[in-house]
Amino acid sequence: MSHPGYIGHMSRPGKLDAAIVDAWLARHPGWAREDAGAIVRTFAFPDFAAALAFVVRVGCAAEKHDHHPDVALGWGKARILWTTHDAGGVTQLDLDAAEACDRASA
């Protein structure tokens, strides 16, 4: 997840237009809107350990980029929700993070 111009807590990107988010969602199966201000996906795994390992990978990347998802973990599944609270909705940070989740789940 590379964020040009982003250093720690400094500049955060602004909320994206709905059309941009919709176009991104159309290209990324499994992701959907949650209300108007977030994107969410539930990932399936063969067991609890695999789901937990995925959540740990996502958490480590989130910590590195100082951008953290809401996570729900269960047996064989992990639900990841991205939003940028200070922007009031979905930003490029969320789309980049969601793509990193897709890579981490493979």
Render pLDDT for 61-89 as a digit per residue (tens, 0 to 9).
999 989 999 999 999 999 999 999 999 99
Residues pairing with 39 in the sheet: 33, 82
pLDDT at 47: 98
Residue 91 backbone dihedrals phi, psi, to 5 degrees: -120, 180
The two structure tokens encoding residue 74? 């269960």
Tens digit of each residue's pLDDT (9 = 90 or more) over 1-54: 444 433 344 567 899 999 999 999 999 999 999 988 999 999 999 999 999 999
6 vs 71: CA distance, rounded Å:
24
End-to-end alpha carbon distance in the chain: 16
**Sequence spans of domains, the chain:** 33-88
pLDDT at 11: 66
Please give the angle made by the CA atoms of 87, 70 and 14, to the nearest 5 degrees: 15
Superfamily of 33-88 according to CATH: Transcriptional coactivator/pterin dehydratase (3.30.1360.20)
Tens digit of each residue's pLDDT (9 = 90 or more) over 85-104: 999 999 999 999 999 999 99
The residue with tokens 């807590």 is: 9
- H-type helices in the chain, by residue range? 18-27, 48-65, 92-105
